[in-house]
Structure 1
Amino acid sequence: MTSTEARVPLMARAVPYLPLGLIAALGATLAYVVRLPCRTGGWNDQVSTYTNFCYTDIYPLYFDRQLATENPYFAHVDFDKQVEYPVVLGEVMQVISWIARALELDRVAQAVRFYDLTVILLGMCLVAGVLLMAAVAGPARRWDALWYAISPAVVLAAYINWDLVAGALSMGMLLAWARRRQVLAGVLLGLAIATKFYPLMFVGALFLLTWRTGRWRPFLITIASAAGAWIVVNAPFMIFAWEGWRRFYVFSQERGVDWGSPWLFFQNKGWPILGEWDVSTLGMLSLGALCLGIAVLTLAAPRRPRLAQICFLALAAFMMTNKVWSPQFVLWLVPFAVLARPNWKPLALWQLAEVWYFAAIWLYLLSQPPLERDDLGIGDDTYFTAVWGRIITIGIMMAFVVRDILRPDKDVVRQADIDDQAGGVFDDTPDRFTLASAVR
Structure 2
Amino acid sequence: MSTQPSEDVDRTDQPSAQATSDGFVRGLSQAIGGPLGSHAVRPGNRPGRFWTATRIILALTCLTLAFSWVQKSPCQSGDWQQNVQYTRFCYTDVLALYYAEGLNEGKVPYVDHPVEYPVVTGYFMGALGLPVHAFGESHPEINQGTWFYNVNAFVLSALAVVTAAVILALRRRRPWDAAIFAVSPIIFFTATVNWDFLAIGLAAVGLYLWAKKHPAWAGVFLGLGAAAKLWPLFIIGPLFLLALRSKSLRPWFWAAATTAITWAAVNFPVFWWYHESWLRFFRLNEERPIDWGTLWYVGRYLDGKWFAGTPGDQGPFQWLSNHVPTLNYLSYALFALCCAGIAVLAWLAPRRPRLAQLSFLVVAAFLLTSKVWSQQYVLWLLPLIVLARPKWGAIIAWTVAEFAYFTAFYAELLGAGSKPVIPEGTFVLASSLRLITVAVLCGLVVREIWKPELDAVRLNYSDDPDGGPLNGPDAPWIATLRRTFRLDRSPAPADPPPLEPAKV
Fold in common (TM above 0.5): yes
| Separation of aligned partners in 1, 2:332 and 2:447 | 26
| Separation of aligned partners in 2, 1:14 and 1:436 | 48
Q: Could you state the TM-score of these two structures normalised by the residue count of structure 1?
A: 0.91
- Equivalent in the alignment of 1:132: 166
After TM superposition, the structure 1 stretch with the greater mean CA deviation from structure 2, 281-290 or 105-114, is 105-114
Which whole-Å deviations, capped at 9, do the CAs of 1:307-335 have from their partners, x for residues lacking one?
Answer: 11000100100011111111111110001
- Equivalent in the alignment of 1:326: 374
| Separation of aligned partners in 1, 2:49 and 2:233 | 35
* Equivalent residue for 1:273, pick from 302, 312, 316: 316
- Equivalent in the alignment of 2:434: 390
| Separation of aligned partners in 1, 2:338 and 2:50 | 40
* Higher relative contact order structure (alpha carbons within 8 Å, sequence separation ≥ 6): 2
Give the AA of the match of 1:344: W
- Equivalent in the alignment of 1:21: 58
On the 8 A contact 2:354/2:467 being kept in 1, the answer is yes
- Equivalent in the alignment of 1:161: 194
Q: What is the SS of the residue equivalent to 1:230?
A: helix
Quote the offset at 1:14 in angstroms.
Answer: 12
Q: What is the SS of the residue equivalent to 2:262?
A: helix
* Equivalent residue for 1:339, pick from 387, 408, 425: 387
Q: CA RMSD in A?
A: 2.1
Quote the offset at 1:108 in angstroms.
Answer: 8.1
Q: What is the SS of the residue equivalent to 2:432?
A: helix
- In our comparison, the structure showing a higher alpha carbon Rg is 2
Quote the offset at 1:250 in angstroms.
Answer: 1.2
- Equivalent in the alignment of 1:211: 244
- Equivalent in the alignment of 2:45: none
| Separation of aligned partners in 2, 1:294 and 1:171 | 22
* Equivalent residue for 2:88, pick from 52, 55, 66: 52
On the 8 A contact 2:247/2:474 being kept in 1, the answer is no
After TM superposition, the structure 1 stretch with the greater mean CA deviation from structure 2, 424-433 or 207-216, is 424-433
Question: 1:407 and 2:451 equivalent?
Answer: yes
Give the AA of the match of 1:86: P
| Separation of aligned partners in 2, 1:65 and 1:95 | 14
Give the AA of the match of 2:436: I
Give the AA of the match of 1:173: G
After TM superposition, the structure 1 stretch with the greater mean CA deviation from structure 2, 317-326 or 64-73, is 64-73
Alignment of 1:311-322 (within 5 A): 311-322=359-370
Question: 1:83 and 2:111 equivalent?
Answer: no
| Separation of aligned partners in 2, 1:113 and 1:147 | 31
Question: 1:226 and 2:296 equivalent?
Answer: no
- Equivalent in the alignment of 1:302: 350
Which whole-Å deviations, capped at 9, do the CAs of 1:272-316 have from their partners, x for residues lacking one?
Answer: 434423321221121111111111111111111111100010010
Give the AA of the match of 1:247: R
| Separation of aligned partners in 1, 2:207 and 2:125 | 25
- Equivalent in the alignment of 1:103: 135
On the 8 A contact 1:214/1:432 being kept in 2, the answer is no
Q: What is the SS of the residue equivalent to 1:161?
A: coil
- Equivalent in the alignment of 1:372: 418
| Separation of aligned partners in 1, 2:437 and 2:74 | 31
Which whole-Å deviations, capped at 9, do the CAs of 1:392-412 have from their partners, x for residues lacking one?
Answer: 111111111111111111111
Give the AA of the match of 1:88: V
Structure 2 unaligned residues grouped into runs of 5+ = 1-47, 307-314, 321-325, 487-504
On the 8 A contact 2:65/2:187 being kept in 1, the answer is no
Give the AA of the match of 1:217: R
- Equivalent in the alignment of 1:182: 215
Question: 1:35 and 2:34 equivalent?
Answer: no
* Equivalent residue for 1:355, pick from 403, 406, 411: 403
On the 8 A contact 2:298/2:432 being kept in 1, the answer is no
| Separation of aligned partners in 2, 1:237 and 1:325 | 26
| Separation of aligned partners in 1, 2:394 and 2:443 | 11
Cα separation, partners in 2 of 1:107 and 1:439, compared to 1, 3 Å: farther
- Equivalent in the alignment of 1:292: 340
